Homo-oligomer: A and B are copies of this chain.
Amino acid sequence: MNSEIEKLLAELGPEFEKEILRVIPREGVPNLHDAVWYHLDSGGKRLRPALAVVACRALGGDSGKVMPFAAACELLHNWFLVHDDIEDGDSFRRGKEAVWKKFGFDHGINVGDFMSEKVYELILLSQESGLGAEETLQLAKVVAETCSKTAEGQTMDMNLRKENNPSEEAYMETIKRKTGWYFTLPIVGGAIVAKASDEIIRKIREFGLKAGPAFQIADDLLDLTSGKGREDIGADIKEGKRSLMVVHCNKACSPGEKEKLFETLNKPREQTSQEDVLWVKSLFEKHGSLEYAREKARKLVGEAKEISTALPKEAMDILDSFASYVIERTR
């Protein structure tokens, strides 16, 4: 990540925490407030709030006014993870037990619901930080729209997992919906606070519709290398996720391989062995599916950078370093 963002992360990390504490104190109802902080304390790079601040500054805005929104982006990201882990049956997150695993399944749902409301409570405090009513409303709107689209993408993703002949078109539509708007939410919010023009905001969103899917593909690749801090590599395979590698491999492999591939993906996750995972990975390698996915991500990042050239230099630099990060990150 670029050094300005790294510096900001060190400088502003505690500030973001203070913002979240305004709406979720550490002491509160057992199995709720403690559960939220158990999750938040488990890590996360606070990348999203830093992006909101950087974007706001780059576009000439007062970053003091963006702080509640910035912190809300972090909270939002974390509530998605709390519910995602339940939906995907993931027991581990950042090397610790997932919230639902530690606090129970019914609490897990409710903890996420609580966090989702606190996202709005926090954003609606922006007026106290000096933001105008119209901009505050615009921030809330952009969050509601983005989360709705992301939920649609989540459904499409679940639907795709029932599909034994997933097309690249359906895959791309799914990840575009699931990540395309969400990816640039902090930057769009930063731009709103900076009172950027509609044209600039439109370009940032277009950028996200390329860079978001690139991020998702890169993330799927990481699942087979670093394992993203979950139990083992290949959790996506155990979940039966239709990644771009699955989509590509499905077209390239033999009928016998295809049968075994989907048999493995469709097994209940607790029945999928590490041997199964390694077999699928080797099938991907045999047919060049990993390389195909890497190339696709690179291409999307290129297209995203192309879009960013229409933006003011400072904004372009942020988007570009964000795009490079997508490709270069290792965990």
A residues near B, CB below 8 A?
Answer: 23, 28-32, 83, 86-88, 106-107, 109-114, 116-118, 120-121, 124, 127, 133-134, 136-137, 140-141, 143-145, 147-148, 151-152, 154-156, 158-159
Contacts and interface: CB of A to CB of B under 8 A. Distances in A.
Contacts of A86: 106, 109
A151 B112 CA distance: 10
A136 B107 CA distance: 31
A148 B107 CA distance: 14
A167 to B, nearest CB: 16
A147 B30 CA distance: 18
Contact of A133 (B29, B133, B143): B133
Nearest to A126: B137
Contacts of A110: 83, 87, 151, 154-155, 158
A48 B106 CA distance: 26
A235 to B, nearest CB: 15
Contacts of A121: 141, 144-145, 148
How would you classify the secondary structure of chain A's contact residues: helix, strand, loop or mixed? helix
Given A29-B156, A127-B137, A140-B140, 15 more contacts: A29-B155, A31-B155, A31-B159, A83-B109, A83-B110, A88-B106, A107-B155, A110-B151, A110-B154, A112-B113, A113-B113, A114-B152, A118-B144, A120-B120, A137-B137
Given A32-B151, A154-B110, A117 B144 contact: yes
A136 B127 CA distance: 13
A114 B23 CA distance: 22
Contacts of A158: 31, 106-107, 110
Copies in the complex: 2
A103 to B, nearest CB: 10
Nearest to A149: B117
18 contacts: A28-B152, A29-B155, A31-B155, A31-B158, A32-B155, A83-B109, A83-B113, A87-B106, A88-B106, A113-B116, A113-B151, A116-B116, A117-B144, A121-B144, A124-B141, A127-B137, A136-B137, A140-B140
Contacts of A118: 144, 148
B117 A151 contact: yes
A41 to B, nearest CB: 19
B87 A109 contact: yes
A262 B133 CA distance: 52
User: Closest 6 CB pairs between A and B?
Assistant: A114-B151, A87-B106, A32-B155, A120-B144, A133-B133, A117-B147
A126 to B, nearest CB: 10
Contacts of A120: 120, 140, 143-144
A107 B161 CA distance: 12
Nearest to A133: B133
Nearest to A89: B106
Contacts of A106: 86-88, 158
Nearest to A114: B151
